[in-house]
Structure 1
Amino acid sequence: MENNIQEEKIPSAISPLSGNQGASGTIHVFAPATVANVVCGFDVLGFAVNEPGDEVIMRVTNKPGITISKITGDDGRLPLDPAKNTVSVSVQHYLQSVGRTDIGLDIELHKKMPIGSGLGSSSASTVAGLFAIKTLLGDDADPVNLLPFAMKGEEMACGHGHADNVAPALFGGFVLVRSYEPLDIIRLPHPKDLYCAIIFPDVDVPTREARQIIRKNIQMKDAVTQWGNIAGLVSGLFMNDIDLIGRSMKDILVEPVRSMLIPDFYKMREMAMELGAVSFGISGSGPSVFAFARDEGTAHRITQKLQQHLTAINIGSNTYVSTINDKGPKVIG
């Protein structure tokens, strides 16, 4: 496994593609949902899952410029205007960097995951679009070059260009953002038999608002506890020690505030742990929650029981069970 994605591989601009690297045809790409923060690693940890995810169909057209002809699964919430959609804006930045603003593209975006779920919805869409255009152009440069453009999409979507969703969506696997300035991304190993149980309650927790309620100042003793947990989690991943992973996934900085936005969060955590979860926490900014489990059966029992609990308090939900997705985006169809 390539564990370190070196900072020097992320240039401010990509060398223009040579003239014989044209683009033609149609491509259909899937990019995965992600779980960011992983409880204790606010803005620096994330991993990809096998489902859900988003799909982009991209076609080369004769007229230069980008159009968005269709968006499905968004309940009409996302803009068709290419100047306002994260997918087209990110693709346009990429085309400018490679010197290919001469080509025409039509984009279809198919949302296969809920918007505002805390599962990296905007990241999946953006990564699918960038992977599609890179493949159409025959650009064989390191995929890490796409990361700054994906972060531009995140900045448009939620006002902050963080990488803890887009990096795992782009590279797959478990990712550590060691530094933002300069950008330094590390792929981490992980136990292959670790399952993720995800429950998305049908409540609204906008990412921008969820970031605004986080404490700006913290006590030193809390910081020491938090970075000890982050170090413990990363050590557990390298050591294949699921017990260490579980006892390290505790958050005393962000979770106490964001949990107030999620109905019965602590009750759900209690239920999940009683059912055999290794750990339990908020996915990204929420409202999705997730648990790690040692096997698929336990993960399914957790999602079933928590979904039943939410139904009993008149809250609908979606559930997913997945191993960690090490592949990231892929061409489908």
Structure 2
Amino acid sequence: MSVKAFAPASIGNVSLGFDLLGAALAPLDGSLLGDWVDVRASNSFELSVDGRFASRLPTGTQNNIVTKCYEFYQQALISHNKAPLSVAMHLHKALPIGSGLGSSASSIVAAFYALNAYAGEPFDKDTLLLMMGELEGQISGSIHYDNVAPSYLGGMTLMTGLERPVCSHLPVFDDWYWVACYSGLSVSTAAARNILPRQYDLSTTLAFGRQLAVFVHALHCGDRALAASTMNDVIAEQHRKTLLPNFDAARDYAGQQAALAFGISGSGPTVFAVADKYENAQHIQTWLEEHYIQNEDGFSHICKIDTAGTRILPA
């Protein structure tokens, strides 16, 4: 028996929702943008890896996040008086580390999903999501769900701050095109958090709360113009863009092509633009490929929101 689970890439924050919003991505060309993990029976635990960005992973099985997921899941089984698993795991690493596309979240989500499916689903969605968030927090330095939740559940998710439910699904506009472009550089999530101020003034705090509230309202009302008007990052962008070469020029060009929004995906360096016309999305993608990508590791995709989330792939 074997189980293979795929977890899509995601945009954390979605500009206006720092640590509170996330959205899963599905390229229009049908390619799978994300990591997958395979679990199969074995007499003892072992881990193998492949994929475009496998060479960027820490060396040694014990240092791999999938191993940490396995150990965490084993302890959860034991604490619930369930038999531990004897399995081998394989990670296909398609997302670059430090990309702002939820790379660690994708590996974590795929690993937990595959393990839980292999074990007969002893843990429900909220319990599994809490496990995913805790492991993600060990990587980034704090527990937040803006990547693991959309990668796991699909769609656009709003974090509740509660244990149950951890998040709520928001409506999305299926006629919006999301252009995601990874520059090829690497930005540490912890470093990107450390660059931020420790305190914000009252006007910034009020602007953040107003934008998020109006955005959620606009999504539920189906008001595209109102939703787009709120997609501005008043918390992190002005500080984090200093880590991203050619960011301002990219934003300016996207604006010239009538982009509804432009921002940093998670901690960066991936950026995203939102367009309501495919032709505009194509122009933005072409410019980003020519001017924003810094090396051969970079790539871009025109996407829609992935509403499926993590799923089982054929073995």
Q: State the TM-score, normalizing by the size of structure 2.
A: 0.90
**Which secondary structure state, in structure 2, belongs to the residue aligned with residue 179 of structure 1?**
coil
Amino acid in structure 2 at the alignment position of 1:171: L
The runs of at least 4 aligned residues of structure 1 exceeding 4 Å deviation read 180-183
Preserved contact between residue 246 and residue 291 of structure 2 (Cα < 8 Å): no
**In the alignment, what sits opposite 1:11?**
none
> Hey, what's the Cα distance between the residues in 2 that align with 1:57 and 1:35?
24
The worse-fitting range, judged by mean Cα deviation, of 190-199 and 211-220 is 190-199
Amino acid in structure 1 at the alignment position of 2:261: S
**In the alignment, what sits opposite 1:4?**
none
**In the alignment, what sits opposite 1:89?**
68
How far the C-alpha of 1:90 sits from its partner, in A, is: 2.1
Question: Per the alignment, do residues 208 and 180 of structure 1 end up closer, same or farther by CA in structure 2, a change over 3 Å counting?
Answer: farther
Preserved contact between residue 34 and residue 48 of structure 1 (Cα < 8 Å): yes
State the Cα deviation string for residues 193-246 of structure 1 (Å, max 9, x = none).
222100111223211110101011111011111111111221222122221121
Does the alignment pair 1:60 with 2:36?
no
State the Cα deviation string for residues 71-106 of structure 1 (Å, max 9, x = none).
433353324645432222223222322334532111
Q: State the TM-score, normalizing by the size of structure 1.
A: 0.86
41, 45, 62: which one aligns with 2:21: 45
Amino acid in structure 2 at the alignment position of 1:306: L
Does the alignment pair 1:159 with 2:141?
yes
Preserved contact between residue 122 and residue 153 of structure 1 (Cα < 8 Å): no
Question: Per the alignment, do residues 58 and 80 of structure 1 end up closer, same or farther by CA in structure 2, a change over 3 Å counting?
Answer: farther
Does the alignment pair 1:256 with 2:238?
yes
**In the alignment, what sits opposite 1:8?**
none
> Hey, what's the Cα distance between the residues in 2 that align with 1:236 and 1:245?
5
RMSD in angstroms over aligned alpha carbons?
A: 1.9
How far the C-alpha of 1:68 sits from its partner, in A, is: 0.9
Does the alignment pair 1:27 with 2:3?
yes
State the Cα deviation string for residues 107-150 of structure 1 (Å, max 9, x = none).
11111122111000000011111111111122165322211111
> Hey, what's the Cα distance between the residues in 2 that align with 1:101 and 1:67?
18
> Hey, what's the Cα distance between the residues in 1 that align with 2:123 and 2:138?
25
> Hey, what's the Cα distance between the residues in 1 that align with 2:64 and 2:214?
38
Preserved contact between residue 172 and residue 326 of structure 1 (Cα < 8 Å): yes
The worse-fitting range, judged by mean Cα deviation, of 215-224 and 238-247 is 238-247
**In the alignment, what sits opposite 2:178?**
196
How far the C-alpha of 1:296 sits from its partner, in A, is: 3.2
Which blocks of at least 5 consecutive residues in structure 2 are unaligned?
A: 28-32
Amino acid in structure 2 at the alignment position of 1:121: S
Alignment identity in percent? 32
**In the alignment, what sits opposite 2:251?**
269
> Hey, what's the Cα distance between the residues in 1 that align with 2:62 and 2:141?
16
How far the C-alpha of 1:183 sits from its partner, in A, is: 6.6
Which blocks of at least 5 consecutive residues in structure 1 are unaligned?
A: 1-24
> Hey, what's the Cα distance between the residues in 2 that align with 1:177 and 1:91?
25
Number of residue pairs the alignment of both structures matches: 305
How far the C-alpha of 1:61 sits from its partner, in A, is: 0.9
